[in-house]
Structure 1
Amino acid sequence: MTGAQKRYAQIEKELLAILFACEHFHEYNYGKHVVVQTDHKPLVAIFNKPLVFPPLRLQRMLMKIQKYDIELHYVPGKYLCLADTLSRATSTDNKITESEDKFDEIVEAHHITSSPLYPQSNGLVERNVQIVKNSLIKAKQANRDMYLVLLHYRNSPIEGINFSPAQLLMGRTLRDTLPINESLLIPRTPNKNLAKDALRKRQESQRYYYNRGTKPLNPLKRENIYPKTQLKDKEWRPATIENRKEQPRSYMFKNCEGGSYTRNRRFINVIPDIPDDEVQREELPKASQSIREDDNETILNESDFEIFNVPTQSSCGRPIKIPDRLKY
């Protein structure tokens, strides 16, 4: 709502809500008889009066609604299904515009943030945007109607769930350009428990195959670290851990410039603590090192080289066979 609309009278806000809903769902309710339920009883009387009697602001909104076949019914508020009973626990990626306290005041919700600029932590929205974006790009390249492309997407069954988004939302299959039997268009409410179980099994399978080749990173304490301030950067800059966030594997740190950031554990490297005596020992020359220059050649003792233990098997348990050309 704009600033002017926020200052409307209550009856004007009620009519504005009906107008917004009609225009938003224009593709569904245009040319059809629509029943609108409201808990604002004076609005029903205004709808039944001639257009010349309401105030000018209500007249303008009523004229916009005239293209829809609307029947307004009064229903007490206690019998209406309100959106206030739905979950308002929004989840965002903690950008600057969404981390302010004013955002929580406007939304009136418990604000849960994920690691910023980390698409995997906000995968549901990111994947949705990717699918719709690729579909619209292909529709433009093929000179196809983008609304028809979205209709086919909403009518396609989801892999592993066997229900389309239209069936899960409206309980029926939408009519599209493909030939279909009339009996398949009859509304049938899908079993939500079966859909949830199928979705959970698919997520567990994805988690198993993803975690099979990974290992958990050690949790961080108040120590010096090397994080990436911007995830696209290739530099690791020194910083200090301030605290650990409520979200899993999420930390807040302060860099050398005094700025505070929140990043995922994957984008943080730990600075190893090196004792002072080891630092001094590395600066001293080795006593066992002997260098002999003969015909512009430098020869070192074998004791000067560190011999590393070559692993004999991989993390999966497979034996590692070193090629003959690498054996010295």
Structure 2
Amino acid sequence: MCVLQTTVHNLLVEKFRKFSRLWEFKHDTSSPLYSQSNGKVEQTVQTVKRLMKKSKFDKKDPYLAFLDFRNTPTEGFDNSPAEKLMNRKTRTSLPTKESLLKPKVIAPNKVQTELTKQKQKQQFYYNQGTKDLPMLKNGDTVRIQPSNFNKEWKKGTIKQQVNIRSYEVDVGARTIRRNRRQLKHTLEEDNNEPTEIERDNSDFEHGEINNQDNLENATEIENAKETPIMTRSGRVVKPPARFKDFVCD
């Protein structure tokens, strides 16, 4: 089943590449499982779903909801999606003056300027709580962030950089693409030996702790017990008998 889905996906991708070359437009792809890089489309899908749910709840025609949405000016713009497409308003269930339905050319530069201002505003507030992650090089060992389908931080090797924030990662049998935020750079070797953190966790789970560490900890506890605790006035602090098994700092 997975092989069939991969084959169909590759065919669709190749067809869309041919379509983009035929119509001479640039097709920028985003990283899988990282919807934030395709935020405009994700927000549109969310809006359509919300309109359909509300229409079903009110038992109204969803197409009327879509019509009202297309005739409502978008936040940050002076015109609606229908006006951007058709240079005029479209009829709704509300009475409309005839003069408002006449075509009125909207300057493309004005729309582009408003769109640029909106993007800059969003970028300004978003970048206040972010920082740039270091670049990864070919051959670096990384751990891939788990998804809803797989809860394991899989190990992989950077194959190549696709764009400024996206990489192709070799995970053995196949090559996948992930965003930089989904990759954690590690200092692991290419072999399957456990890392320092994994060894520490394994020892902890099995109760295996280094004897030298045990000896040092025991010495510190004995010294703490022998050293009396005194107040600033010179009085020796004597903890209650019920706390004799504890070390008071």
Amino acid at match of 1:240: T
Distance of aligned partners of 1:268 and 1:173 in 2 relative to their CA distance in 1, 3 Å threshold: same
SS of equivalent residue, structure 1 residue 152: helix
- Counterpart selection for 2:144 from 222, 227, 245: 227
Partner SS state of residue 289, structure 1: helix
Greater RCO, CA 8 A, separation 6+: 2
Whether 2:214 is the aligned partner of 1:299: answer no
Please list every run of 5 or more consecutive structure 2 residues that lacks an aligned counterpart in the other structure. Answer: 1-5, 190-195, 201-209, 225-248
Amino acid at match of 2:106: P
The normalised TM-score by structure 1 is 0.53
Report the Cα offset of residue 207 of structure 1.
0.8
Alignment of 1:173 onto 2:89:
yes
Q: Offset at 1:143? A: 0.8
Separation in 2 of the partners of 1:284 and 1:272? 27
Match of 2:39, as an amino acid? Answer: G
Q: Distance in 2 between matches of 1:198 and 1:183?
A: 25
Structure 1 gap segments, 5+ residues each? 1-94, 293-297, 303-327
- Residue number in structure 2 paired with 1:260: 175
Q: 2:169, 2:177 within 8 Å by CA — same for their partners in 1?
A: yes
Q: Is the 8 A contact 1:289 1:301 kept in 2?
A: no
State the distance in 1 between where 2:90 and 2:27 align. 35
Cα 1:301–1:114 shift into 2, 3 Å: farther
1:120: which partner in 2?
36
Aligned to 2:235: none
Alignment of 1:106-255 (within 5 A): 107=19, 109=21, 111-221=27-137, 222-228=139-145, 230=147, 233-245=150-162, 247-255=163-171
Q: What is the alpha-carbon distance in structure 1 between the residues aligned to residue 39 and residue 9 of structure 2?
A: 18
Equivalent runs, 1:268-307 vs 2, <5 Å: 268-272=183-187, 285-286=212-213, 289-291=216-218, 299=221
CA drift at 1:196: 1.1
Contact 2:17 2:27 in 1 (8 A): no
Paired amino acid for 1:258:
A
User: Would the alpha carbon gap of residues 198 and 182 (structure 1) be closer, same or farther in structure 2, given more than 3 Å must change?
Assistant: same
**Superposition deviation, residue 264 in structure 1:** 0.4
**Deviations 1:94-120 (Å, cap 9, x if unpaired)?**
x86444574357536265421012111
Paired residues of 1:253 and 1:262 also in contact (CA < 8 A): yes
Output the aligned Cα RMSD.
3.0
Residue 171 and residue 301 in structure 1: after superposition, are their counterparts in 2 closer, same or farther (change >3 A)?
A: farther
Determine the C-alpha separation between the residues in 2 that align with 1:170 and 1:118. 33
Distance in 2 of aligned mates of 1:105 and 1:205 = 32
- Following TM superposition, the consecutive aligned residue runs of length 4 or more in structure 1 with deviations greater than 6 angstroms are none
The answer for the alignment partner of 2:245 in structure 1 is none
Alpha-carbon deviation of 1:145? Answer: 1.0
Contact 2:55 2:62 in 1 (8 A): yes
**Cα separation, partners in 2 of 1:149 and 1:203, compared to 1, 3 Å:** same
Name the stretch that deviates more: 190-199 or 210-219.
190-199
Between the aligned partners of 1:300 and 1:203, the Cα distance in structure 2 is: 63
For 1:272 and 1:156, the matched residues in 2 are separated by: 53
Partner of 1:44: none
Give TM-score, length-normalised by structure 2.
Answer: 0.68
Distance 1:239 1:181, change over 3 A: same
Q: How many residues align?
A: 196
| Structure 1 pair 104–133 and aligned structure 2 pair: CA distance change class (3 A) | closer
- Following superposition, the deviation at residue 269 of structure 1 comes to 0.8
- How far does the alpha carbon of each residue in 1:156-208 deviate from its partner, in whole angstroms, 9 at most, with x for none? 00110111011111111112122333322222112221111111100110011
* Secondary structure in 1 matching 2:95: coil
Q: How far apart in 2 are the matches of 1:149 and 1:183?
A: 24
CA distances 1:281-325 after superposition (whole Å, capped 9, x unpaired): x96835982515xxxxx82778xxxxxxxxxxxxxxxxxxxxxxx
Could you list the per-position Cα deviations for residues 99-152 of structure 1 after superposition, in whole angstroms to 9, with x for gaps in the alignment?
457435753626542101211112222222111121111111111111111110
Deviation sequence 1:199-246 (CA, Å, 0-9, x none)? 11001100111111010111111211111364654421211111111x
* AA in 2 matched with 1:136: M
Query: Structure 1 pair 165/204, CA: closer, same or farther in 2 (3 Å)?
Result: same
